[in-house]
Amino acid sequence: MQAARLHETGGPDKVRLEDVSAPEAGAGETIVRVHAAALNHRDVFITRGLYPNIVLPRTLGADCCGEAGGAEVVVDPTIGWGGDERVWKPDATILGVPLDGTFAEFVVVPQENVHSKPEHLSVEEAAALPLGGVTAYRAMFVRGKLQAGETVLITGVGGGVQTFALLYAKAAGARTVVTSSRDGKLERAKALGADVAINYATTPDWHKAVKAAVGAVDLAIDSAGGDSFAKALSVVRPGGRAVTYGGTSGDTSLKMFPIFWHQLSIFGTSMGSPADFKAMLAFVSQHRIKPIVDRVYELSEIKSAMQRMDDALQFGKIVLRIPQ
């Protein structure tokens, strides 16, 4: 079969398409014929050697929609979460490093990780859903406890997870404030229902602009860390919540007094449990939410797709069409 493989770190240009042996299913496993797969920032980070326990060569990719047993399916990319809903086991993992992933004609996964595709989604839309969709669902509802009528701040809208966060928040009846460094992404977000949109590149004190627009927020969802997370915390109301699932801008220095004086709750999150994944699929089906597909590339165009992700040009998810 054809697969997009990484043999050495050094950036997205190191990914190459090659012919490899198709996987074989072991006990309790299923082979999924992949029809479409989606990129995540972790794929780029892996090519740069920014994840631990990278064993090469390896097929990249965590997300996919495909066929198993004659039915259209999506795959939960978290393998071996464990029995504790609060946190995954230390040896839990994700498709696409350290396990071979979905940028291939076939992928083998545990049977319990295979789920029916939401009927209202196209193959490309369904492929865009798994990793970003479950990460946003857990951040927004399981950890963040978002309720209808609340106001949520979503920093860095345009990436896969934060775009899902916007779609979920609107479906749940929340008011949304979004930030981005690109006006085009802010316009797209407003078209999807964002109530307030602020360019943090042209408005360095964007947290003050948030306060001027809405006063304070009940919940902040951030993946950048660094200065972004510190500013996001400053606009959370007393007794409010903040959730972080990343640190692309590095570590941050926080003022402690507002945190304890305002009795803020700060939550970390990553991926989602099997129960989260099932609940996310049900929520998406109930509200007929459609993932935002930025662009569809052929598998043979993997380097162009990876470069678009690396340049942060996308709004929503970048998808690969897998040859049949």
Residue 31: is its pLDDT beyond 90? yes
pLDDT band at 145 (very low <50, low <70, confident <90, very high): very high
Residue 52's pLDDT is what? 79
pLDDT in tens, 87-99: 999 999 999 988 9
Residue 247: is its pLDDT beyond 90? no
Residue 118: is its pLDDT beyond 90? yes
Cross-strand pairs, 105: none
DSSP state of 142: I
Which helix (H) or strand (E) segment holds residue 200: the answer is none
- Please state the rounded mean pLDDT for residues 2-27: 96
- Please state the rounded mean pLDDT for residues 66-83: 97
Residue type, 238: P
Average pLDDT, the chain: 96
Secondary structure (DSSP) of 285-323? HHHT----EEEEEEGGGHHHHHHHHHTT--SSEEEEEPP
Pairwise CA distance, residues 73 & 37, whole Å: 12
Residue 53: is its pLDDT beyond 80? no
The CA–CA distances, whole Å, from 247 to 137, 158, 268 equal: 18, 16, 11
SS (H, E, C) 236-291: EEEEEEEEECCCCCCCCCCCHHHHHHCCCEEEECCCCCHHHHHHHHHHHHHHCCCC
Residue 315's pLDDT is what? 95
Domains of the chain: 2-129+291-321 (3.90.180.10), 134-268 (3.40.50.720)
Closest C-alpha to 127, from 78, 179, 62: 62
Contact (CB, 8 A) for 105 and 34: yes
pTM (2 d.p.): 0.96
Pairwise CA distance, residues 104 & 322, whole Å: 7
- Please state the rounded mean pLDDT for residues 7-29: 96
pLDDT in tens, 169-203: 999 999 999 999 999 999 999 999 999 999 999 99
Residue 88's pLDDT is what? 96
Percent over 90 (pLDDT), the chain: 94
Q: HSE (CB half, 13 Å, CA atoms) of 135?
A: 28
* 3 state DSSP class of 83: coil
pLDDT in tens, 278-287: 999 999 999 9
Residue 299's pLDDT is what? 98
Q: How do beta strands 236-244 and 265-268 pair?
A: parallel
Residue 310: is its pLDDT beyond 90? yes
Q: Which two tokens stand for residue 311?
A: 């340049």
pLDDT band at 213 (very low <50, low <70, confident <90, very high): very high
Residue type, 229: F
Pairwise CA distance, residues 242 & 234, whole Å: 10
Q: How do beta strands 15-19 and 2-6 pair?
A: antiparallel
Which own/partner pairs from 194-203 qualify as long-range (CB within 8 Å, at least 24 positions apart)?
Answer: 194/154, 194/157, 194/166, 197/157, 200/155, 200/228
Cross-strand pairs, 189: none
Residue 91's pLDDT is what? 92
Residue 249's pLDDT is what? 85
